Copies of this chain bind each other. A is one copy, B any other.
Amino acid sequence: MASDRLIVIGGVAAGLSAASRARRLNTNLEIRVYEKGPDISYSACGLPYFIAGSPREADALRVYSAEFFRTQRNIQVFTNHEAVQILPGRRRVTVVAQGSGPEDVHFTSLVLATGAEPARPAINGLDLTGVFHVNDLQAAIKLKHFLESEKPRRAAIIGGGYIGLEMAEAMTAAGLEVTLVDRSAALFEAVDEEIASLVEAELDGRGVRVCKGARAAGIFGDRTGRVRQMALEGAGEASLETDCVILATGVRPRAKLAEEAGIEIGVTGAIAVDEFMETSAASIYAAGDCAEARHLVSGRPAYVPLGTTANKQGRVAGENAAGGRARFAGIVGTAVTKVFNLEVARTGLSSEEARQAGFKIAAASVRAASRARYLGGKDILVRLIAERSTGRLLGGQMAGPEGVAKRIDVLATALHARLTVEQLGQLDLSYAPPFSAAWDPILIAAQEMQRELRR
């Protein structure tokens, strides 16, 4: 009798978390991971740093090899193997390997970890030489080679989200003159305008030109097919000269395989899952950038593709695919990024997201010292968003030169625990002059919010 077999489609964060967790719980299960690309188990979030030059080698971003999974975890990882069809009723996946015909493989349980793909804007010129995205390792390596061999002088980045901002820094560090084109009026829509304006000031101070409220209308090349110009709409000028274009216009879930198999797609466009990460098809799970997550503040399904969530969801999917019964609690939308010397972080709902979720909100911001000023402490901006009627914390954002990145996690934890702003202000947070002021900026922000709530 054949043993049970778990198939995992996708070999980056969620897929390998799932496979590893399943193995830990069940030593008998046969586990196969099919990855359509050549790379597995690498830090996708590290790609902008590789472009910037640290680390120097792409290999530094790789975590584990297929060999490691085979010998250390008894997990078979097949790269360059694409799953092209799922037959949920027959519990089969059709897999196509490079250079060979399709093969039908039976599964007992299946984890979909197909990730996300770059959302390509509907403009002409995307096929010109010099147009890149950095959605996966191969794409980043191609860009790196281009930078080294062609030595472009100017870069245009389309999109002012996390990747766009990180790439603005990376391309500047790589020695290019950078223009960032973003369609929103405020840049970086993940945060409120007050925080976004600090990001813009930092970019400006570092020589990055920012075109807000502008749309890339087309990319034009020279006779050799190389990028030379980008047409703009809504900017102060009709076009800009550039030697390359980075697409950082976000991602969308790779859900087509699931959709074609009749698996339910959620309102966000990603694969719908329950708290066990199970899809509408029994024994078929989904995790990571292809799947939805419940937002613990809004209570609604959300699509926030991040590596941390991918790891956690993968772990839960893997446990359940191996016969366990783990739950994924949900997300609060925590994220942090570094834009040159500015740390920017957010968690929960932004003001706009909170309004859209139906909350009547109050917001308060303070500037307070990251640590003792006599030891060089600097101002950070802390912004809180709360429900006006109850004082419940709904979200928070921070920006500053230091002390932001992990401080946001206090607010993330408070959101998980559904703390009110009053409770937030009572937290017994750590203090020593090298690390904080006696009143942590979060506590000062909570006090300011309490004043705002009494208004």
Smallest Cβ distance from A401 to chain B, in angstroms?
Answer: 13
**Most central of A329, A415, A438, A440 by chain B CB within 10 Å:** A438
Residues of B within 8 A of A45 (CB): 431-433, 438
A84 at the interface (CB under 8 A from B): no
- Closest B residue, CB atoms, query A434: B338
Q: Given B308, B432, B443, which contacts A431 in the complex, CB threshold below 8 Å?
A: B308
What separation, in Å, do the CA atoms of A408 and B49 have in the docked complex? 27
For window 288-344 of A, CB contacts with B under 8 Å fall at: 296, 306-309, 311-312, 328-338, 343
Q: How many copies of this chain are found per oligomer?
A: 2
What separation, in Å, do the CA atoms of A435 and B43 have in the docked complex? 14
- Closest B residue, CB atoms, query A371: B405
Smallest Cβ distance from A197 to chain B, in angstroms?
Answer: 21
Q: Given B61, B331, B435, which contacts A405 in the complex, CB threshold below 8 Å?
A: B435
Is B307 a contact partner of A347 (Cβ separation < 8 A)? no
Residues of B within 8 A of A431 (CB): 45, 306-308, 335-336
What separation, in Å, do the CA atoms of A336 and B371 have in the docked complex? 13
For window 424-453 of A, CB contacts with B under 8 Å fall at: 426-436, 438-440, 443
A138 at the interface (CB under 8 A from B): no
Smallest Cβ distance from A136 to chain B, in angstroms?
Answer: 16
What separation, in Å, do the CA atoms of A393 and B264 have in the docked complex? 38
Q: Given B405, B429, B435, which contacts A436 in the complex, CB threshold below 8 Å?
A: B405
Residues of B within 8 A of A199 (CB): none
What separation, in Å, do the CA atoms of A416 and B417 have in the docked complex? 9
Smallest Cβ distance from A185 to chain B, in angstroms?
Answer: 25
A360 at the interface (CB under 8 A from B): no
Smallest Cβ distance from A10 to chain B, in angstroms?
Answer: 16
A173 at the interface (CB under 8 A from B): no
- 23 A-B pairs (CB sep. < 8 Å): A13-B438, A43-B372, A45-B431, A45-B432, A49-B433, A54-B374, A307-B438, A308-B430, A308-B438, A335-B431, A338-B434, A405-B430, A409-B427, A409-B429, A410-B410, A410-B412, A412-B427, A412-B428, A412-B429, A413-B414, A413-B417, A416-B427, A416-B428
| A interface residue numbers (CB < 8 A to B) | 13, 43, 45-46, 49, 54-55, 60-61, 296, 306-309, 311-312, 328-338, 343, 345, 347, 372, 374-375, 403, 405-410, 412-417, 419, 423, 426-436, 438-440, 443
